[in-house]
Structure 1
């Protein structure tokens, strides 16, 4: 089933606003979202070679665009990589491609998935939800922006533990109430 790009972006924006920013899972996200510096892109279809090319093109575009216009990119993949382990393997492939393309030291790649699961954790562990998005998503971040954010947020290393505490306090029912899954909130 193909998901409309407009809907995939709406789903992802809703997740960013309600979960990532609303629960403060990433204390750095609010400023770039408020300033319109998050670029939302959608890769339609399930051709992984084309997706890898698209990721490299988005990485190059991010590097070529001033940070005050585009600080980060979320590449949403609604039509492919529904299996988390396939997505995880593909993310590793993309990290290698980005290194070969010369993006190491400039950009980092983070990943989010509807069935994200940390190694050694049960699938239903609430800590996994810190990285669960409505659609498979590849997140390109500028290393310089990460460095500035970490300087401004002295306890950045504690974010992961705080996120787990927040999600455990919220519980599965609270997460469900956020309504941040694919197709949540109806069509835009």
Structure 2
């Protein structure tokens, strides 16, 4: 039986994917794997960075061995550790070292999402940060081959960032908050 908190974490993550990532088209590549149910959701029980590193290692190895037609990407949600964004940001270096240690550079990569995500040079409340703000801290494990295929289909990847900034500025903070908190029945 699944832990009720884990079920809530996955449900919140799915809503965020549907409403923000796919709904606002923040990542034009996300819809295909989502619709094909190729996204793996893993809620980590880790309460320390060391425990999360061990879990990340397991998930990287699992994804590398998995059939891409069945699981293309993994969202490793970790609600109990790295709540502080600066600590989380520091951990990303550890994730990159782990990829290298496992010999998975060039095969997999780790993207970052956090409820308090903040790009360098932005203010904490700047709407642009919402492109990488998720309901829980998470590590997105991606296949390089999938990224290569996506970039081939959409070679103007720099345009994605600019479009995302325009979308979020037009939406504004109030619009973002409404989008993320609207009740399920109001869809």
Tell me the TM-score normalized by structure 2: 0.93
Aligned length: 183
Q: Which residue of 2 aligns with 1:171?
A: 172
Q: Unaligned 5+ residue runs, structure 1?
A: none
- 1:114-129 → structure 2 map (5 Å cutoff): 114-129=115-130
Change (3 A) 1:125 1:3: farther
Q: Which residue of 2 aligns with 1:43?
A: 44
Give, in angstroms, the shift of residue 3 of structure 1: 7.7
Partner Cα distance (1:12, 1:180) in 2: 13
Partner Cα distance (2:142, 2:46) in 1: 24
Give, in angstroms, the shift of residue 45 of structure 1: 3.5
Q: Which residue of 2 aligns with 1:131?
A: 132
Q: Which residue of 1 aligns with 2:102?
A: 101
After superposition, give the CA deviation of every residue in 1:135-185 in whole Å (9 maximum; x if it has no partner): 00000000000000000112122111110000000000110011259xx86
Give, in angstroms, the shift of residue 47 of structure 1: 2.0
Residue 24 (structure 2) pairs with residue 23 (structure 1): yes
Q: Unaligned 5+ residue runs, structure 2?
A: none
Name the structure where helix makes up a greater proportion of residues.
2
Runs of 4+ in structure 1 deviating by more than 3 angstroms, as ranges, are none
Counterpart secondary structure, 1:4? helix
Partner Cα distance (2:26, 2:32) in 1: 13
Give, in angstroms, the shift of residue 94 of structure 1: 1.2
Change (3 A) 1:84 1:3: farther
Contact 1:116 1:129 in 2 (8 A): yes
Contact 1:105 1:143 in 2 (8 A): yes
Q: Which residue of 1 aligns with 2:112?
A: 111
Counterpart secondary structure, 1:91? helix
